[in-house]
Amino acid sequence: MKIAIIHGQSHEGSTCMAARELANKVGGEIREFFLPRDFNKSCLGCYTCFKTDLSNCPHYKELEPLVTAILDADLLILESPVYVYHATGPMMSFLDHFGAWWMVHRPLPEMSGKQAVAIATAAGGGMKSTVRDMADSLEMWGIHKVYKLGFGVQATKAEEIPEGILRKIHRKTDRLACRIRKNVGKRGCNGRAKKWFYLMRFAHKHFPPMEPDYSYWEKQNWHGKDRPWHQA
């Protein structure tokens, strides 16, 4: 089992602790990246990825190790502390680079063999919107199973988390690790991305073709009988 953790901050606090706890319980080879330490670029809005390919992104040299780790992983964990009710700026800037991977553009069939988790911790509130910030991308990339974990830790440091909340973190990561292990090796597509796949397929057939997306889908035979979640 290959696991990639992308931390939305460069320090090892409560969120990092929860993400590592889950990864260790799932077990396997773990690779970790910290943002902005390991990738600190903001999307330039040049549309190169949409018009050509992500590999032509002006930031691709810095992005490539993270892309490789994501593509290699069976399980991807994105985590972020809640900063003003949302994921950190570095996490959002990182995710901005993958718009072309969304189901409405040119999704990667290998995403259907992966599972992912979005994890957030907050002192009190904002876990739901923060987890959603990360899960939006994971789902729209077409990842098979996307799980969400949010913890209100009543603390600004991991060492200050009350005992009862620590127990809740242990219990929830135990349960999720079990579910993840059961689903290893299965292929599929989450319901949200599947709905968008069929909407785009309809649009491709009834409206003027948008390139290079249309030709990409044509090559994969997605206008025909093949589906991203059926391909090896």
Ligand X SMILES: Cc1cc2nc3c(=O)[nH]c(=O)nc-3n(C[C@H](O)[C@H](O)[C@H](O)COP(=O)(O)O)c2cc1C
Chain residues binding ligand X by CB under 6 A are: 9, 13-16, 81-85, 121-126, 153, 155-156, 158
Whole-angstrom Cα distance, residue 6 to residue 31? 9
Tokens standing for residue 127: 């876990």
Pick 80 or 112: Cβ nearer ligand X? 80
Minimum CB distance to ligand X, residue 212 (Å): 39
Pick 51 or 157: Cβ nearer ligand X? 157
Instruction: For residue 20, give the nearest of 183, 184, 170, 179 by alpha carbon.
Output: 170
Tokens standing for residue 153: 């830790």
Minimum CB distance to ligand X, residue 97 (Å): 23
DSSP of 145-203, one letter per residue?
EEEEEEEE-S-SSGGGS-HHHHHHHHHHHHHHHHHHHHTTT-----HHHHHHHHHHHHH
Pick 124 or 224: Cβ nearer ligand X? 124
Minimum CB distance to ligand X, residue 161 (Å): 8
Minimum CB distance to ligand X, residue 20 (Å): 11
Pick 16 or 143: Cβ nearer ligand X? 16
* Count of C-beta atoms within a 10 Å radius of residue 14: 25
